[in-house]
Amino acid sequence: MRILGIESSCDETGVAVFDDEKGLVGHVLHTQIAMHAEYGGVVPELASRDHIKRVVPLVREVLAQSETSMHDLCAVAYTAGPGLIGALLVGATEARALAYALNIPAVPVHHMEGHLLAPMLEDPAPTFPFVALLISGGHTMLIKVEKPGSYELLGQSVDDAAGEAFDKTAKLLGIPYPGGPGLEKLAQTGNSKAYHFPRPMLDRPNCDFSFAGLKTAVLNAVHASTDLEKQKADIARCFTDAVADTLRHKCERALNLTGLNTLVVAGGVSANTAIRSLLSELMESRGGKAFFARREFCTDNGAMIALAGMMRFKAGQIGTLGVDVFPRWPL
């Protein structure tokens, strides 16, 4: 059985084909990063218009790439939320129309469930149950995952998401949108002892996060800086260390709380090498294992939606005949 997956919740149009025996057989992606860069962030109307231009050619391309006939498809999965409403509607309409024409189901997928399951596209794949750390541009969550669809929220950010903190810090340091990858590069030459930024909420006995205070500390360091050009690599490095350290502590707490020893880390920020290393070390020291998606599947993509869609399809969780989208949708 083959399923087509379409992602269009923000600034990436991603389309993929997943085969329940062979795994991922094709994936293509168009990123709008260059288009939004001159505005310093995603412009929703421009995002929707670009998805409209890209989605049909990308569907054609991925079907050809994976040597899949439309008639081989068992269903079409799409990101139904959360995300930008206009952007979501493009993927949803394409998926719903294709499904209707082919007389197969459309499967609405939660974007964060897609991220959460993305490390299962790798070999070796994590096995259930596990603790998942989801760190993206809009969410920071720790989740106990018993099996697909069984998610218990252990903690989340009470203010900024980890990715948002990266993007805002990057902006303060003059790094173009999206800041995460640029900040990572800059941090590589920074001195980790130059600043000590706060590790917020470590004293609280829960799994919640807060990154707003860290952002303020960075802002103060930028204002106090006498030569920002010279000091910005140090700020980037110490900021990254503070985020990574906070994530490590909260993951440790979630693992102790649940008694689990498998950690799955997903979402755009999980592409960060320093964060990957620290969390891998944590799991090694506990005799457990950390799992990540390959870097291109940490950020938004169609492959994770096709995979999550296949799991939902097999569980009989298919959509209605409506074009269902949910801009705000809890996991």
- The size of the chain, in residues, is 331
Using CB atoms within 10 Å of the CB of residue 239, give its burial: 0 to 12 exposed, 13 to 18 middle, 19+ buried. buried
Residue 327 binds ligand KG4 (CB under 6 A) = no
Two structure tokens written together for 202: 């470590």
Q: Is 182 within any annotated ligand binding site?
A: no
Q: Exactly one of 11, 113, 234, 300 binds Zn ion (CB under 5 A); which one?
A: 300
CA–CA separation, 188 and 66 (whole Å): 38
Interface positions, 240-269, toward ligand KG4 (CB under 6 A): 267-269
CA–CA separation, 144 and 128 (whole Å): 10
Residue 68 binds Zn ion (CB under 5 A) = no
Q: Which is nearer to ligand KG4, 44 or 288 (CB)?
A: 44
Q: Which residue type does 74 have? A: C
Q: Is 72 within any annotated ligand binding site?
A: no
Instruction: With beta carbons less than 8 A apart as the criterion, state whether 154 and 142 touch.
Output: yes
Residue 180 binds ligand KG4 (CB under 6 A) = yes
Angle at CA of residue 260, ends 123 and 256, nearest 5°: 135
- From the list 142, 154, 140, 164, the residue with the least C-alpha distance to 214 is 164
Residue 5 binds ligand KG4 (CB under 6 A) = no
Q: Among ligand KG4, Zn ion, none, what does residue 163 contact (CB within 5–8 Å per kind)?
A: ligand KG4
CA–CA separation, 151 and 99 (whole Å): 28
Q: Exactly one of 66, 93, 136, 157 binds ligand KG4 (CB under 6 A); which one?
A: 136
Site track 76-115 with ligand KG4 (rule: CB under 6 A), x = hit? ---------------------------------------x
Residue 138 binds ligand KG4 (CB under 6 A) = yes
Residue 301 binds Zn ion (CB under 5 A) = no
Q: Which is nearer to ligand KG4, 35 or 70 (CB)?
A: 35
Instruction: With beta carbons less than 8 A apart as the criterion, state whether 87 and 49 touch.
Output: no
Two structure tokens written together for 75: 């269903």
Site track 118-147 with Zn ion (rule: CB under 5 A), x = hit? ------------------x-----------
- From the list 47, 114, 111, 162, the residue with the least C-alpha distance to 264 is 114
Interface residues with ligand KG4 (CB under 6 A) are: 10, 115, 136-138, 163, 166-167, 178-181, 184, 267-269, 271-272, 299-300
Show binding-site residues for substrate. Answer: 134-138, 167, 180, 184, 272
Question: Residue positions in the annotated binding site for Fe cation?
Answer: 111, 115, 300
